Amino acid sequence: MHGWVGHNVYGAELERVLLDSAAIDRRVRELGDSISRDYAGRELLAVGILKGALIFLADLVRRLTVPVAIDFVAVGSYGAGTESSGAVRILKDLEQDIAGRHVLLVEDIVDTGLTLNYLLEIFRARAPASLRVCVLLDKPERRRVPVPIDYCGFVIPDEFVVGYGLDYNERYRHLSDIVVLRREVYRGNSV
């Protein structure tokens, strides 16, 4: 049974399941295996971008077989809308120094690339030993600036998705599937 089926309050707002929890779990396991192989013999600092990457990061680090520390950064660019403003700012910075450390930036979704590009510039200036990117979802057709993605869960079409950490106005993060949100919901029409 899909994670959102029992949430009748959302039923009319959700169009269809794009990625079910079994597919997500399988891919997170594969990503964890790849990252563990690549960082064998080294300690990793996994940096989750709040709030969207929280669930993905938690599942991912439990799949790693290398020593891993965790930190978070929060950035603002969306507000309550569905389109990035292009102006990115740090709302919560890292608590740990990343100089000389192997850093894996973990993001839920990359569309325009503006947020990720901004963070990569800031983090590179802090002189990590290495800096790589792991994203759960990539929407390449929305890209406005090129960004490197070292580990990618899924390439998805340009649809508004929620669940597994992704939200719309702070709703739907708890869903275990990744689901397409009906256009009427975020365009302001009633469902």
**Residue 69, CB half-sphere, CA atoms under 13 Å: how many?**
12
User: 69 — phi, psi (to 5°)?
Assistant: -105, 155
Instruction: Please choose, from the candidates 12, 14, 17, 16, the residue with its C-alpha nearest in 3D space to the C-alpha of residue 191.
Output: 12
- 37 CB-near residues (< 8 Å, 6+ apart): none
**DSSP states of 32-82 as a string?**
HHHHHHHTTTS-EEEEEEETTTHHHHHHHHTT--S-EEEEEEEEES-TTSS
Residue 111 annotated among the catalytic residues of the structure: yes
CA–CA distance, 140 with 125 (Å, rounded to integer)? 26
- Which of 59, 108, 111, 177 is labelled catalytic? 111
Active-site positions read 111
